[in-house]
Amino acid sequence: MKIEIRNGRVIDPKNEVDGKTSLFVAAGKVLAKGDAPDGWRADRVLDASGLIVCPGLIDVSVRLREPGFEYKATLESEMQAAIAGGVTSLACPPDTDPPLDEPGLVEMLKHRARSLDSAHVYPIGALTVGLKGESITEMAELSEAGCIAFSHADAPLADTQILLRAMQYAATFGYHVWLRPQDAHIARGGVAHDGEVATRLGLAAVPPFAETIALDTIFALARATGSRVHLARLSTHDGVARVRDAKRAGLAVTCDVAANHVHLCD
């Protein structure tokens, strides 16, 4: 089918496109933008006035519920929801049940995703066995099975010796380590960001320095090991500023911010 999309604001960072134009699509691929290809005759014309047209979005932290949490949702239902929202690539943390700490589990997840032929699924392997923080996983085998990185998800990893070894291992083979920077002891029991709303409602709060303390530790280990680190779901101004400073200092760090922290934190 040939589809013509008119009057939309096309945003394509990879090709440095941001402006109102038309797209011409055939067989699922963009053939041209702006002017129609020679002999073009659309089977369907879409008016995208007031809308954004962009490549499929990537969600870097998606709980796909399988294995272990099928009573909440299924891989199929979560992938369908993602596609409906324009999200075509899904990175899934390892805190399934059991955790993604064995190659067989990763292969099973990827096979299920391929069979559904929907969104692209990119598993993130467990950094330690069972996410218990006691011994590191066989990252090489997990990488061969399809893991794009290694993480401890939201499970606390208080033993910095274990984290150091994991980052050394990852650096040796060029693997990415994804970490959520939050001091588990300071954040224990907290249910909301520390601020006016939490105080007014009497909620147990997580102070901003729970994040910055963890960041300082991670940066020290990254500097010592040379590992590549992605920092997941930053939630404070100071945290973002520290990442910016770390990048200027030459550390191989990146970060993301969750939508709920942008919109719901005071």
Give the homologous superfamily in CATH for domain 2-53: Urease, subunit C, domain 1 (2.30.40.10)
HEC string of 205-258 equals EECCHHHHHHHHHHHHHHHHHCCEEEEEEECCHHHHHHHHHHHHCCCCEEEEEC
Q: Which CATH class is domain 57-264?
A: alpha beta
User: CA–CA separation, 134 vs 152, rounded Å?
Assistant: 12
The parts of the chain modelled with pLDDT lower than 70 are none
So where are the chain's domains?
2-53, 57-264
Using one digit for the tens of pLDDT, what is the confidence trace for 154-186? 998 989 999 999 999 999 999 999 999 999 999
**DSSP bridge pairs for 255:** 231
Position 258 scores a pLDDT of 87
- Angle, helices 209-225/160-173, rounded to nearest 10 degrees: 50
Residues with Cβ within 8 Å of residue 152, at least 6 apart in sequence: 94, 126, 127, 128, 131, 133, 179, 180
User: CA–CA separation, 4 vs 2, rounded Å?
Assistant: 7
User: 13, exposed or middle or buried, with CB in 10 Å at 0-12, 13-18, 19+?
Assistant: exposed
Position 224 scores a pLDDT of 97
**DSSP bridge pairs for 3:** 25, 44
Q: Do domains 2-53 and 57-264 have the same CATH topology?
A: no
Instruction: Provide the whole-model pTM.
Output: 0.88
Q: Which single residue is written with the structure tokens 């990763």?
A: 106
Using one digit for the tens of pLDDT, what is the confidence trace for 7-23? 999 999 988 999 999 99
